[in-house]
């Protein structure tokens, strides 16, 4: 596996914790330009797959046919957190697509973010399936099944034609033969795909640089989808989360997944990076991404500053006193 230290945490001058992992970067020739650890490490994409899973939905014209706003359409690639503006948009999709909430596979649950969850309990609201952070993805695929006349009751099954289309899209975007893609089941019940980390970077390169996509229909769908993501960044996660903070920068396409996987592509620089924090921790993402951007000489300092605002270099205790430091320790080149 060849794990490498990515982020070290110091308390005082003593090393207290290390986040090990792997990361890699590719250029617009799809060639490896950076490798920390093993770029061929097989990685389940988890929610980092959502932009690829949403491509067939957009390609079929679902957002336009339903008259969705950019914010509503962005939820097809989102890991939403149950904020009121997200739930309102999800309810709007249910209405416009004429979908019964009971069709969604995830069990009824509560909002993820603290404020909407506190409001949920204070008001004694019922649990709902659309509170699940993958509900936007599920609604998109149900809407696609309805549009194409495929079975809706098995929309989540790998045997459904829509899921086969998603598998083909994943293979096309990441350039991994479909028979080599590992398939398991994600937390929400959807198929989850395992591919080499470098292939994930190639997929995000194409999201950021759609001119590299030869198929016109796929290319136009990617342009439309990433446009929704950048236009409505808070729909993709929510305020105060790394995906939304990165997508505020119109030069970046980014999405993370459970168990420490993250990927992002840079449009102007025509490169992309994928990483895996092996212990599954998410707070190191911002430190790692900030360091990558600094090491490549990224021009938008505001984006780097937002990363450090999410996971500050300085570690403070419960009394607000500085007691340590988060430190990225990998070298790209």
CA dihedral in degrees (140, 146, 150, 153; nearest 10)? 70
**What are the backbone dihedrals phi and psi of residue 155, each rounded to the nearest 5 degrees, phi first?**
-55, -25
Structural domains of the chain ordered from first start: 4-328 (3.40.710)
Find the angle CA(81)-CA(86)-CA(92) to the nearest 5 degrees: 145
pLDDT digits (tens, 9 = 90+) for 194-206: 999 999 999 999 9
- pLDDT band at residue 1 under the 50/70/90 scheme: confident
User: Would you state the pLDDT for residue 116?
Assistant: 97
User: Is the confidence at residue 251, as pLDDT, over 90?
Assistant: yes
Find the mean pLDDT for residues 302-326.
Answer: 96
pLDDT digits (tens, 9 = 90+) for 280-310: 999 999 999 999 999 999 999 999 999 999 9
Q: Which two tokens stand for residue 173?
A: 């975007």
Residues linked to residue 276 through DSSP beta bridges, in sequence order: 22, 261
Q: Which two tokens stand for residue 210?
A: 């759609």
- Percent of the chain's residues with pLDDT above 90: 100
**What are the backbone dihedrals phi and psi of residue 22, each rounded to the nearest 5 degrees, phi first?**
-145, 150
pLDDT digits (tens, 9 = 90+) for 141-189: 999 999 999 999 999 999 999 999 999 999 999 999 999 999 999 999 9
Find the mean pLDDT for residues 31-60.
Answer: 98
User: Would you state the pLDDT for residue 94?
Assistant: 98
Q: How far apart are CA 203 and CA 210, in angstroms?
A: 10
Residues linked to residue 25 through DSSP beta bridges, in sequence order: 34, 273
Find the mean pLDDT for residues 228-240.
Answer: 97
Find the mean pLDDT for residues 27-47.
Answer: 97
Q: How far apart are CA 291 and CA 36, in angstroms?
A: 13
What is the value of pTM for the model shown? 0.97
pLDDT digits (tens, 9 = 90+) for 52-76: 999 999 999 999 999 999 999 999 9
Q: How far apart are CA 69 and CA 63, in angstroms?
A: 8
Q: In the predicted model, what is the mean pLDDT of the chain?
A: 97
């Amino acid at each position: 596996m060849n794990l490498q230290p990515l982020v070290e945490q110091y308390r005082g001058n003593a090393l207290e914790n290390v986040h090990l992992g792997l990361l890699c970067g590719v250029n617009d020739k799809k060639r490896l330009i950076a490798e920390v650890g093993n770029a061929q490490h097989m990685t389940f994409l988890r929610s980092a797959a959502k932009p690829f899973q949403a491509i067939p939905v957009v390609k079929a014209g679902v957002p336009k046919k339903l008259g969705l706003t950019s914010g509503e359409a962005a939820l097809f690639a989102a890991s939403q957190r149950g904020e009121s503006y997200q739930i309102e948009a999800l309810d709007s999709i249910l209405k416009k697509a004429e979908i019964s909430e009971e069709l969604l596979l995830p069990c009824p649950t509560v909002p993820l973010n603290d404020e909407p969850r506190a409001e949920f309990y204070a008001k004694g609201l019922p649990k709902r399936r659309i509170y699940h952070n993958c509900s936007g993805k599920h609604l998109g695929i149900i809407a696609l099944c309805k549009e194409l006349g495929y079975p809706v009751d098995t929309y989540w099954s790998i045997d459904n034609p829509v899921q086969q289309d998603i598998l083909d899209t994943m293979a096309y975007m990441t350039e991994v033969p479909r028979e080599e893609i590992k398939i398991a089941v994600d937390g929400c019940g959807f198929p989850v795909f395992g591919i080499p980390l470098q292939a994930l970077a190639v997929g995000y390169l194409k999201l950021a640089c759609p001119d590299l996509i030869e198929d016109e229909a796929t290319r136009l769908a990617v342009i439309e989808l990433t446009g929704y993501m950048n236009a409505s960044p808070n729909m993709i996660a929510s305020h105060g989360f790394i995906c939304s903070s990165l997508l505020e920068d119109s030069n970046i396409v980014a999405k993370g997944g459970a168990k420490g996987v993250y990927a992002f592509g840079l449009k102007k620089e025509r490169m992309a990076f994928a990483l895996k924090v092996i212990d599954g921790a998410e707070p190191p993402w911002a430190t790692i991404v900030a360091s990558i951007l600094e090491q490549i000489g990224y021009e938008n300092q505001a984006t780097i500053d937002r990363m450090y605002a999410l996971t500050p270099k300085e570690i403070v205790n419960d009394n607000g006193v500085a007691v340590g430091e988060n430190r990225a320790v990998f070298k790209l080149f």
